[in-house]
Homo-oligomer: A and B are copies of this chain.
């Protein structure tokens, strides 16, 4: 079996235990890990490293770079062990999040297409070890990744040494799904030749010198499944509004019935929106996105999606079994690319994507907060939302209009952290309706967002804020001393609602 996966005799001499590989990693080092939204993460060496920290009494800290979030509790265990000095470019673990927000570890929130450039340009601390999961290493020296590509190719290229986690639990059928295209340095590169979603422009694996592979660790552990959240009434309404808007765009001649390549962020709202396409009249859809979730494969099965390009596959337990167990039938309909390519401004703008991402909160002028709860506490990170929103044909942001049983309004006078500016936000959709902000000045946007997107519980409060702002004048009217009044009221009274106690019936 092993010779199927280690296709040169010499690789076998590099096999070591996870503990031994972990022993090479010392205080102050930087590691670059495979892994993107729980898929294809380096699961063994990182765990052994955290175990060592717990066991020994020699404290150490390392920098951890990845593609995006990790699964298998790797981020949790590393955070608990206190071994992470700096983490980038994305995470989604509750323990790690809490350490970040307590100031116990540092987190750098990158656009997901930017990390590779920063590594290539030697702007970040240099990478000592790339640790990447693989299904095989070929006879001609290529590491074949598993369920994600993420930043693995740039990490392998730039690291001083490479550790491969050869995961026997990942099916060999994945071979051929990857398309690895490496960029030269800025100023010395050609145009990226990709002009169609289903085009292949690179190699089936990551090229690496045998000498650079310091160790190979044999593992046998599936990816952590995604925690699937079924569509609820609100997410269903969001999907319906978005589909109504897209139908209208088709009617106006701006889109055809196969729309344009679709991108969606991860999460239940995005998944619900994609589910909404199942019953729609749209046909021959294509996906050019980061994470391929359950709904993408449902739509492939239903013949609605003809091709999906991503940089990772993250599925629920049942769907994982179904897709990875029969991957041959998906291989001509799916490709996995490095996240620098899946999220590249050049490609996103050329193809003219429809980008659908989730907002934490939006403001009356269309600015979006994707990351910092109440302006201060990091949730997960901006991810690829900025790469896509800035460069897409249509930048759509979706959110439920209220959270915490109505105590939080997702529509506020001024977002408490700005990830996407008014220049980059085209359409805002909540379960209440949608606001099409294209070509509108701030004074045209405010009432549209309030009346179409805010929850009725909060509309009057927002109207009153805007009326007072208007009395002050300006291109973007505001009452700065009250701009964060929703947020400060929540902090003090536990709700953003004015007079919530006096008029509970509102």
Contact = CB atoms under 8 A, between A and B. Distances in A.
A350 B122 contact: no
B477 A123 contact: no
Interface string A122-135: 11110000000000
Contacts of A487: 480
B473 A102 contact: yes
B423 A386 contact: yes
Secondary structure class of chain A's binding surface, majority of residues = loop
A117 to B, nearest CB: 8
A439 B474 contact: no
Nearest to A195: B190
Interface residues of A, number: 84
Contact of A346 (B349, B375, B386, B443): B349
A114 to B, nearest CB: 7
A468 to B, nearest CB: 12
B345 A118 contact: no
A245 to B, nearest CB: 13
Interface in A243-262: 252-254, 260-261
A191 B189 contact: no
A123 B376 contact: no
A374 B260 contact: no
Number of copies: 2
A107 interface: yes
A416 interface: yes
A212 interface: no
B108 A477 contact: no
Contacts of A424: 111
Nearest to A387: B390
Interface string A90-124: 00000000001111001111110010011001111
A69 interface: no
A112 to B, nearest CB: 10
Interface string A443-459: 11000000000000000
Contacts of A473: 101-103, 376-377
A439 B186 contact: no
6 contacts: A102-B473, A108-B441, A125-B439, A345-B346, A377-B474, A480-B491
